[in-house]
Amino acid sequence: MRETITAGEAAAILGISTWSVYDLARRKILPHVKIGRRVLLRRSTLLAWLDEQEQASLQQPEPAEKSGGWMPNYQREKRLYATGEGFI
């Protein structure tokens, strides 16, 4: 078995399109090597990267800062009107 796989083979393993693999590689999210115009991935590295992504998805996110953290607009508006800051 060869060590490297093509973008198409990686796409089949990940269950995404080949173009998505190219895009992830271009944005340096997916570990790869480029030989000429070909994008190649090491099978073992791809599977290790997939394991890392899975483990990261299981981690609890850090709570947002109470005053300056990101929150959806509807929650921000709800907070502003509840405190009276949303009225002119």
| Cα(83)–Cα(20) distance, integer angstroms | 44
| Cα(17)–Cα(60) distance, integer angstroms | 29
Please state the domain count of the chain: 1
In a domain, 86, yes or no: no
pTM: 0.65
Q: What pLDDT, on a 0 to 100 scale, did the predictor assign at position 1?
A: 79
* Residue 41 near residue 5, CB atoms below 8 Å: yes
Residue 80 in this model has a pLDDT that exceeds 80: no
| Model confidence pLDDT, tens digit, residues 25-55 | 999 999 999 999 999 999 999 999 999 999 9
CATH of the domain at 17: 1.10.1660
In a domain, 68, yes or no: no
